[in-house]
Structure 1
Amino acid sequence: MMQYEGGAAEGGRGPSIWDTFTHQYPGMLNYTIADKSNGDVADDTYHLYKEDVRMMKDMGMDAYRFSISWSRILPNGSLSGGVNREGIKYYNNLINELLLKGVQPFVTLFHHDTPQALEDKYKGFLSPNIISDYKDYAEICFREFGDQVKHWITFNEPWIFCSNGYASGTFAPGRCSPWEKGKCSVGDSGIEPYTACHHQLLAHAETVRLYKEKYQFTEEAVRQSQFICDNDLNQRSAKLSSIIQNYLLLGIQFQPGSVGRALQKGKIGIIVNSQWYVPLSQSKSNKDAARRVLDFVLGWLMDPLVRGDYPQNMRELVGNRLLEFTKEQSEMVKGAFDFIGLNYYSSSYAGNVPPSYGPNSSYNTDFQARITGSRNGTLIGPQAASSWLHIYPQGFHELLLYIKENYGNAIIYITENGVDEVNNKTMPLKEALKDDTRIEYYHKHLLALLGAMRDGANVKGYFAWSLLDNFEWADGYTLRLG
Structure 2
Amino acid sequence: MKQQRKDMKLEENEYPPGLHSQPYVTAHNMILSHATALHIYKTKYQEKQGGSIGIVLSMVWYEPLKDTVEDNSLVQSTFDFEIGWFLDPFIYGDYPNEMKKYLGPKLPTFSAKEKEKLRYGLNFIGMNYYKSLYVGRCGVSYCKVAERDGIPIGKKTPMPGRKGADVRGYLVWSLIYYFEWIHGYTLRFGIYHVDYNTQKRTPKSSAKWFKDFPQCSKITARKRR
Q: What are the equivalent positions in structure 2 for 1:283-362 lying under 5 Å apart?
A: 283-352=68-137
Shift of 1:369: 3.8
| Change in CA separation of 1:380 and 1:461 when aligned onto 2, cut-off 3 Å | same
Check whether the contact 1:293–1:369 (CA below 8 A) recurs between aligned residues: no
Q: Give the secondary structure class of the aligned counterpart of 1:346.
A: strand
Q: Deviations over 1:153-182 (max 9, x none)?
A: xxxxxxxxxx99x7423xxxx311xxxxxx
**Larger radius of gyration between Structure 1 and Structure 2:** 1
Shift of 1:462: 4.9
Q: What are the equivalent positions in structure 2 for 1:29-428 lying under 5 Å apart?
A: 167-169=13-15, 174-176=16-18, 188=19, 190-217=20-47, 263-352=48-137, 369-381=142-154, 391=156
Which consecutive aligned stretches of 4+ in structure 1 deviate over 4 angstroms post-superposition?
460-472
Q: Give the secondary structure class of the aligned counterpart of 2:72.
A: helix
Structure 1's unaligned 5+ residue stretches are 1-162, 177-187, 218-262, 356-367, 383-390, 393-436, 450-459
TM-score, normalised to structure 2, is 0.67
Check whether the contact 2:93–2:116 (CA below 8 A) recurs between aligned residues: yes
Q: Which has a greater percent of strand?
A: 2
Q: Give the secondary structure class of the aligned counterpart of 2:55.
A: strand
Check whether the contact 2:91–2:119 (CA below 8 A) recurs between aligned residues: yes
Check whether the contact 1:205–1:336 (CA below 8 A) recurs between aligned residues: no
| Change in CA separation of 1:201 and 1:438 when aligned onto 2, cut-off 3 Å | same
Check whether the contact 2:56–2:126 (CA below 8 A) recurs between aligned residues: yes
Shift of 1:292: 0.7
Letter in 1 for 2:52: K
Check whether the contact 1:290–1:351 (CA below 8 A) recurs between aligned residues: yes
> CA separation in 2, counterparts of 1:285 and 1:464?
41
Shift of 1:354: 8.8
Q: Give the secondary structure class of the aligned counterpart of 1:175.
A: coil
Check whether the contact 1:269–1:337 (CA below 8 A) recurs between aligned residues: yes
| Change in CA separation of 1:279 and 1:175 when aligned onto 2, cut-off 3 Å | same
Q: Compute the RMSD of aligned alpha carbons.
A: 3.4
Check whether the contact 2:39–2:120 (CA below 8 A) recurs between aligned residues: no
Residues matched between the structures, number: 178
> CA separation in 2, counterparts of 1:341 and 1:214?
23
Identity rate of aligned residues, in percent? 27
TM-score, normalised to structure 1, is 0.33
Structure 2's unaligned 5+ residue stretches are 1-9, 190-205, 211-225
Letter in 2 for 1:371: K
> CA separation in 2, counterparts of 1:467 and 1:353?
35
Q: Is 1:438 equivalent to 2:164 in the alignment? A: no
Q: Deviations over 1:345-402 (max 9, x none)?
A: 11111103799xxxxxxxxxxxx742122222333245xxxxxxxx37xxxxxxxxxx
Q: Deviations over 1:66-93 (max 9, x none)?
A: xxxxxxxxxxxxxxxxxxxxxxxxxxxx
